Amino acid sequence: MRGHGDRVIALALAGVASLLELGPIAALLYQGHDITAVLLAGLAYQVGNAAPRPLQHPLALGVIALAAALVLYLASPASASWLTAIAALSWTLQAVRRNVAAQSAPTPTAHKRVARVAGFILATLAPMAVWLALTLAGLASALTRMRKGAAAEADVGTKAWTHLEWTMVAHQTHYFSYAYAIPVLIADPLLGGVGAAGFWFACGWVSYLSAETLWRRFPLRTVFVTGHLCLAAILALLTLTSGAPVLSVVFWILSGFGGGTVYCLTQLQKNNCGATEQLERAEDVGHIFGVALALGAVSAFHFTADDLPAIGAVCALAAAFLLMSLHRDTHPSSAHADQ
């Protein structure tokens, strides 16, 4: 039954990832913090997610997770120690998730998506003490089964990135330049307040995750470019109507149908025999750069949460034009890469 147990743990960790990504943001919103604090919490999560994860002993990871959870619970929200604790917990979580994935059979993608969506909903409903306890419980369950001799992550080296990988950076930058502003825009009493924000945030993820099912019969490049051109228009409308919470939710959900076309890049990378690790590293860079770009706009140009979707619109256009400029003959074996 080890395979079944590993699958349950993988699903639990997927849910925990949502709790840790959105839970601190909900805590900040409950206390009335501004968009800067929200973006810093998101950046801390993404830095921990992207940081190198060399070989670690399960006990050491457990100690780091426990210490980080205590600091997160006891420290003042948005303080340096609080943000560092988010990064440490995120780093530990991703190290454990990679180990579990490496030593067990693949978990169905649909199941992991359900776990992620459920985690987002719970993140804004449950008090910090509850979601932190669930986070530690999920990590503890995984650590008891973790291989001590698991290999360190593969080194992708210094190989120059391809056009596809730069397109992935642009796509991820678009999303993370505005995604953490969404809870701020929709945590309105008219929509149920902060407690309901996780549900509305998850609705955007449902549309995002539905894109492949809806559009997979069409050519990859056409789907990605069309999806991102439409996405740019939707995000522009979201910026213009951000003062109306109901419209913010509507456009947030619609944006997922365009943003979810990122699956096209993954498939094109496979068709072109590209390195999966290289594309994942491009994702990590886009995650961090997107939040950093939003923070820069807030700090230097006094952008508010209402303004940030406009940055996402520009980056979505950049992603579309990057893929449009990609030569079809990028690889000798890519005759059907666009299918």
User: For residue 100, what pLDDT band results from cuts at 50, 70 and 90?
Assistant: confident
- For residue 6, give every residue at least 6 positions away whose Cβ sits within 8 Å of its Cβ, in sequence order, or none: 100, 103, 104, 105, 145
Same-domain check for residues 126 and 181: no
Would residue 151 count as lying in a domain? Answer: no
Please give the average per-residue pLDDT across 149-164, as a whole number.
64
User: For residue 52, what pLDDT band results from cuts at 50, 70 and 90?
Assistant: confident
335 pLDDT higher than 70: no
Please give the average per-residue pLDDT across 102-110, as a whole number.
77
Please give the average per-residue pLDDT across 239-250, as a whole number.
96
Would residue 332 count as lying in a domain? Answer: no
Same-domain check for residues 7 and 109: yes
For the entire predicted model, the pTM comes to: 0.93
Q: Which of 5-9, 82-86, 95-99, 291-295 is predicted with the least confidence, judged by mean pLDDT? A: 5-9
Mean of all residue pLDDT scores within the chain: 91
Tokens, residue 137: 């419980």
DSSP letter string over 62-130? Answer: HHHHHHHHHHHHHSPTTSHHHHHHHHHHHHHHHHHHHHHHHHSPPPPHHHHHHHHHHHHHHHHHS-HHH
Same-domain check for residues 172 and 319: yes
Same-domain check for residues 66 and 183: no
Between the alpha carbon of residue 82 and those of residues 67, 79, 130, 191, 336, the distances in Å are 11, 5, 17, 29, 49
Q: Which of 3-7, 154-158, 283-287 is predicted with the least confidence, judged by mean pLDDT? A: 154-158
Same-domain check for residues 247 and 306: yes
Domain encompassing residue 53:
2-143
Same-domain check for residues 101 and 186: no
Please give the average per-residue pLDDT across 188-196, as a whole number.
97
Please give the average per-residue pLDDT across 282-302, as a whole number.
98
150 pLDDT higher than 90: no
334 pLDDT higher than 80: no
pLDDT of residue 157: 55
Between the alpha carbon of residue 150 and those of residues 14, 145, 164, 189, 254, the distances in Å are 20, 12, 30, 48, 41
260 pLDDT higher than 60: yes
The total number of structural domains in the chain stands at 2
Structure letter (DSSP) for residue 244: S
Please give the average per-residue pLDDT across 314-327, as a whole number.
92
74 pLDDT higher than 60: yes
332 pLDDT higher than 50: no
pLDDT of residue 330: 43
pLDDT tens digits, 293-319: 999 999 999 999 999 999 999 999 999
Same-domain check for residues 172 and 47: no
CB 95 within 8 A of CB 56: yes
pLDDT of residue 147: 63
Would residue 247 count as lying in a domain? Answer: yes
158 pLDDT higher than 60: no
29 pLDDT higher than 60: yes
Q: Which of 113, 143, 173 is the last residue before a domain boundary? A: 143
Same-domain check for residues 119 and 169: no
Same-domain check for residues 249 and 209: yes
Would residue 123 count as lying in a domain? Answer: yes
pLDDT of residue 309: 98
Would residue 9 count as lying in a domain? Answer: yes
Same-domain check for residues 133 and 182: no
Would residue 330 count as lying in a domain? Answer: no
pLDDT of residue 3: 60
User: For residue 189, what pLDDT band results from cuts at 50, 70 and 90?
Assistant: very high
Please give the average per-residue pLDDT across 143-158, as a whole number.
61
pLDDT of residue 111: 87
Would residue 271 count as lying in a domain? Answer: yes
**Residue 271's domain is classified under what CATH number?**
1.20.1250.20
Same-domain check for residues 221 and 319: yes
Between the alpha carbon of residue 83 and those of residues 7, 62, 69, 147, 296, the distances in Å are 30, 19, 11, 29, 18
pLDDT of residue 339: 44
Same-domain check for residues 195 and 124: no
Would residue 116 count as lying in a domain? Answer: yes
Q: Is 156 helix (H, G, I), strand (E, B) or coil?
A: coil
252 pLDDT higher than 70: yes
